[in-house]
Amino acid sequence: MFNTISSTYDWVNRILSLGQDLRWRKKIARFLPTTPISLLDLATGTADQLIVLCDLCPNITQAIGIDLAEDMLKIGQKKLRGKPYKAQLIKGDAERLPFLDESFDITTISFGIRNVHHVDKALKEMYRVLKPQGKSFILEFSLPSNQPVKQAHLFYIQKLLPKIGGFISKNPEAYTYLNKTIERFPYGEAFLKLMDKEGFKNLTATPFTFGSVTLYEGAKC
């Protein structure tokens, strides 16, 4: 599905999030260490998250993005041309990472964990490839806790988002899929429990924009 919407993916993200998605992505940079770090971005897609972090954090000495969808990666490759840093994009499965244990200081996944088949396997892999004291950051849609805001948000994702996203991408199913997965996916404490189960410590969940998106952080101690 992501191959079929790759050409409009970034543009639709900007429109549907009212320009907020870049702001959410940039916020992860504030949580990263300032020492030299190696970073792996899972389900990297068109590499927006990886690029935002490399642009903001010159202390990232190794940056790799991995995704199953080749067409998404091709767009990411184009965006990386001319950048003053090297970032590698490779085709691969977040549930079976082709890296040795303890390879990275930081692992990230943005709007991707909701899309993998087995969330537990992807979390296990994010943890496995982390070095001791390394950290994982997971940015994902969630639902606002304030009831009137939640109702307004549900109206937006159920009624408007599939129409706008479907019209621009010419793929209405992809954006109906988006709202269904947002509503079904565990968030807040429920998601932290999944991270806890895979061994992550010092867990935090930071909601952005009334809780429509949450940044989860967990460490390997």
Binding site for ligand SAM (CB under 6 A): 2, 43-45, 48-49, 67-69, 72, 93-95, 110-112, 115-116
Closest contact distance (angstroms) between CB of 20 and ligand SAM is 13
> Which residue, 21 or 105, is less far from ligand SAM as judged by CB?
21
Closest contact distance (angstroms) between CB of 113 and ligand SAM is 9
Closest contact distance (angstroms) between CB of 77 and ligand SAM is 14
CB 69 within 8 A of CB 175: no
**Mode of pairing for the β-strands spanning 104-110 and 213-219:** unpaired
CB 194 within 8 A of CB 186: yes
Closest contact distance (angstroms) between CB of 72 and ligand SAM is 4
Nearest one of 146, 126, 144 to 136, comparing CA atoms: 126
> Which residue, 182 or 205, is less far from ligand SAM as judged by CB?
182
User: Which run of H or of E encompasses 190?
Assistant: helix 189-197
> Which residue, 139 or 192, is less far from ligand SAM as judged by CB?
139
Report the C-alpha gap between 99 and 93 in whole angstroms: 11
